[in-house]
């Protein structure tokens, strides 16, 4: 669905112990011409389920090559148009993206509308502005003696994996945040280094890891921090880190920078032949707007396809239900809520259900209350919020990937959920998700637990209203799983579509089924997220797909001017313009209704318009047309499609005016009084007016110098009195007659 441009403000999910409000975002001065920043999402997109490779590393390289090739091919004509408009001064920035097939642009609204009408453009997304809160440093300390132990790391059983020799070695973690203080003693030695380990899309700190806020430094400390302060503060102390400085130094980020950050994470050095993508990505930020926003869903889908599970903080908008916001509520994200050390949910931790259709959100919880971590200037801080809960999960993934290096993203999520310590009501719920993180239990689950995975191909299918889209749903058993798996679908109502699985139950733990989705004839154009769930006993595994109902080829009809005024008997014209939408190429026949036969007739030239163009509508009124205003409806028809536009026609009558000057004359008996009688034209009247008088006194007579008189024109009225004319004042009526039209004007004659 092609969407209008808007601005959304979102905020990071950290809530410090000593709260501080978010820093204000710097807004650049607007250019002289008002331009629009937008993300153009093209129709051709890579289906990640079709990308196959023998292991996670090779799958990432194959995926990247496919993404780049798709973007290079599909963007050519759009880029040509944008460069042409740039030469005209209508476009200022063009930024092609390949993590999904899209282009970031800053352009005039007319260009945005032009792009939206193209058949190779799927939709126009807004440029999002994101605000970063400042982490207060009231609790920052320099370590001078043995600090207290960090119970949050122990609570999630990270030390149990350390004891097995899994400390994150061989694993690279990344965060998308405010940056990282690369000089901190607990982080400096863990930076991977080189020109493929730090990305600042704003160019403010192009080579040296920097953080002027502290938020990103704090989240990185929970993931990989060491014991330089006297205690182990990080989950995976032997992992290496890289980072995207998603927020600029003023605490603001744009959606273009976020897209470029996700894209950089797939290939930091720009070479698909080198395996330098991170294994884990932590995103401790979330929007402040409700609902389901899928602007970053393509990025997250590609990360998962490359074997990277996108871990997000759930947000700090609890305890109200439905407050896990985008992108944390996207199906591809693994959202993490916050608990204290007593395993009680933090009141501020965001709660489900998901507006994007996930069965459970958050997916899990982790310690996020009074967490001690790294701060700026080599110091430490204690802070709270889901921003610090999420990196516990990301750090646990680093430990698991040390033990199971080729673990797919879906299996990573299943292990985290399967090993979680169930809290709250029995089973998954929308407060605690599957429970509190337990890294060691997740390791045991991966080692022993029979399980299955669910996948779907293609990830996106397109059909028309009333048409059928077909998917293949696959189930694969793990660790000897052989149970039956029942398939179900969510995301469409019974009024929107019908669907069937063949077979509905996959036996033996592995196999595939055909899913046919038949849409209703009246289903509105748009993208519909489908959740395909396999259930075996209490185990549920889901995969996600998109059903696209494209906007059908259509056309518009517009008429100018919106109204016209014409004297009866005259002709007026309108211009009828036909515009093409969504690749429309048909012929549009034109017709007019609303013009009575007694008023006039109409004609179009030409009578039909091919694809797009204009026609002249001529309306000829009758001389006898009754005056009035007539609404006319112009209808364009092409097959079953019909579009209308309404204009107004005002018909004025042809008429004349009559006046006399002076209005009063005084004479003595036997004298002559003179008046000038004027006839004027109304509505193009061009006839003659015959003049006469009534009301003359006895003994008086009247003559006109010109009779009849043309319009416009004048005639001198002379009234001759006699000696017998009575002395008095008389009202004399001057009468003008033209066919059925009659007007009169009084004058006064006084005889002395």
By annotation, the residues acting in catalysis are 177, 215, 387
Q: Collapsing DSSP states into helix, strand and coil, what is residue 517?
A: strand
Distance CA 293, CA 287 (A): 9
C-alpha span between 741 and 750 (Å, rounded): 30
Omega before 606 cis (within 30°)? yes
∠ CA 635-641-645, rounded to 5°: 25
Return the closest-CA partner of residue 279 out of 245, 314, 313, 303: 303
Using alpha carbons, select from 441, 440, 455, 580 the residue that is nearest to residue 506. Answer: 455
Q: Residue 212 and residue 118: Cα distance in Å, rounded?
A: 43
β-strand pairing of 713-720 with 709-710: unpaired
- Categorise residue 307: left if φ over 0, alpha if ψ from -120 to 50, beta otherwise: left
Question: Cα(217)–Cα(241) distance, rounded to whole angstroms?
Answer: 11
CB atoms within 10 A of CB 427: 10
Omega into 458 within 30° of 0, i.e. cis?
A: yes
Q: How many CA atoms lie within 13 A of 562 on its CB side?
A: 0
Whole-angstrom distance, CA of residue 140 vs CA of residue 67: 44
CA distance 675 to 140: 104
Q: Are 505 and 488 in contact (CB under 8 A)?
A: no
Q: Residue 220 belongs to what H/E stretch?
A: helix 215-224
Interstrand relation of 129-131 and 9-12 (parallel, antiparallel or unpaired)? parallel
CA-wise closest residue to 181 among 173, 171, 191: 191
Contact of 358 with 531, CB cutoff 8 Å: yes
Structure tokens given for 581: 């939408």
Q: Is 721 exposed, middle or buried (0-12, 13-18, 19+ CB in 10 A)?
A: buried
List phi, psi (to 5°) of 513. Answer: -140, 150
Q: How far apart are CA 516 and CA 498, in angstroms?
A: 8
What 3-state DSSP class applies to 302? Answer: helix
Whether residue 503 is preceded by a cis peptide bond, meaning omega within 30 degrees of 0, is yes
């Amino acid at each position: 669905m092609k969407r209008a441009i808007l601005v959304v403000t979102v905020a990071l999910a950290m809530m410090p112990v000593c709260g501080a409000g978010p820093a204000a975002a710097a807004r650049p001065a607007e250019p002289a011409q008002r331009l629009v920043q937008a993300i153009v999402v093209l129709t051709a997109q890579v289906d990640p389920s079709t990308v196959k490779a023998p292991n996670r590393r090779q799958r990432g390289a194959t995926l990247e090559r496919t993404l780049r090739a798709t973007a290079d091919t599909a963007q050519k004509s759009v880029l040509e148009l944008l460069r042409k408009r740039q030469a005209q001064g209508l476009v200022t920035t063009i930024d092609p993206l390949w993590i999904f097939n899209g282009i970031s642009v800053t352009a005039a609204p007319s260009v945005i509308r032009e792009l939206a009408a193209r058949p190779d453009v799927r939709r126009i997304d807004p440029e999002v502005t994101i605000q970063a809160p400042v982490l207060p440093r009231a609790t920052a300390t320099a370590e001078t003696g043995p600090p207290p132990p960090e119970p949050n790391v122990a609570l999630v059983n990270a030390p149990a994996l350390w004891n097995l020799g899994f400390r994150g070695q061989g694993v690279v973690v990344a965060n998308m945040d405010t940056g990282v203080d690369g000089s901190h003693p607990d982080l400096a030695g863990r930076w991977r280094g080189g020109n493929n380990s730090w990305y600042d899309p704003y160019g403010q700190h192009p080579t040296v890891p920097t953080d002027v806020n502290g938020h990103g430094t704090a989240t990185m400390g929970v993931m990989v921090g060491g014991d330089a302060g006297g205690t182990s503060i990080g989950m995976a102390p032997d992992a290496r880190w890289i980072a995207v400085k998603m927020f600029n130094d003023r605490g603001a980020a744009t959606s273009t920078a976020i897209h470029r950050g996700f894209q950089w994470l797939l290939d930091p050095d720009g070479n698909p032949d080198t395996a330098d993508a991170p294994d884990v990505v932590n995103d401790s930020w979330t929007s402040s707007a409700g609902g389901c926003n899928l602007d970053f869903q393509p990025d997250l889908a590609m990360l998962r396809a490359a074997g990277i599970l996108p871990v997000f903080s759930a947000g700090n908008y609890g305890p109200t239900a439905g407050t896990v916001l985008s992108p944390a509520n996207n199906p591809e994200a693994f959202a993490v809520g916050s608990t204290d050390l007593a395993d009680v949910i933090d009141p501020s931790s965001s709660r489900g259900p998901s507006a994007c259709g996930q069965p459970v959100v958050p997916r899990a919880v982790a310690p996020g209350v009074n967490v001690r971590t790294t701060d700026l200037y080599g110091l430490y801080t204690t802070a709270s919020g889901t921003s610090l809960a999420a990196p516990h999960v990301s750090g646990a993934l680093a430990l698991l990937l040390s033990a199971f290096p080729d673990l797919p993203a879906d299996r990573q999520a299943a292990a985290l959920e399967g090993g979680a310590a169930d809290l709250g009501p029995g089973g998954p719920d929308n407060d605690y998700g599957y429970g509190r993180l337990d890294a060691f239990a997740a390791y045991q689950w991966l080692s022993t637990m029979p399980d299955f995975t669910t996948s779907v191909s293609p990830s996106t299918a397109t059909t028309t209203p009333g048409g059928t889209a077909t998917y293949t749903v696959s189930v694969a058993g793990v660790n000897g799983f052989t149970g039956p798996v029942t398939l179900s679908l969510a995301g469409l109502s019974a009024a929107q579509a019908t669907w069937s699985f063949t077979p509905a139950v996959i036996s033996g733990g592995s196999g595939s089924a055909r899913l046919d989705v038949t849409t209703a004839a009246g289903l509105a154009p748009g993208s519909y997220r489908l959740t395909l769930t396999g259930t075996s006993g209490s185990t549920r595994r889901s995969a996600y797909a998109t059903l696209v109902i494209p906007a059908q080829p259509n056309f518009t009809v517009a008429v100018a001017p919106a109204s016209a005024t014409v004297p009866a008997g005259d002709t007026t014209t309108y211009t009828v313009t036909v515009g093409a939408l969504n690749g429309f190429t048909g012929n549009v026949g034109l017709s007019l209704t609303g013009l009575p036969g007694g008023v006039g007739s109409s004609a179009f030239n030409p009578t039909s318009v091919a694809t797009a163009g204009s026609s002249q509508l001529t309306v000829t009124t009758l001389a006898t047309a009754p005056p009035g205003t007539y609404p006319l409806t112009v209808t364009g028809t092409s097959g079953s499609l019909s579009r209308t536009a309404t204009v107004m026609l005002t018909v004025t009558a042809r008429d004349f005016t009559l006046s006399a000057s002076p209005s009063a004359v005084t004479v003595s008996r036997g004298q002559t009084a003179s008046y000038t009688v004027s006839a004027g034209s109304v509505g193009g009247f061009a006839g003659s007016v015959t003049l006469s008088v009534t009301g003359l006194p006895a003994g008086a007579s009247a003559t006109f110098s010109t009779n009849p008189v043309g319009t416009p024109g004048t005639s001198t009225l002379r009234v001759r009195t006699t000696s017998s004319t009575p002395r008095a004042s008389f009202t004399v009526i001057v009468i003008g007659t033209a066919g059925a039209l009659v007007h009169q004007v009084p004058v006064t004659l006084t005889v002395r």
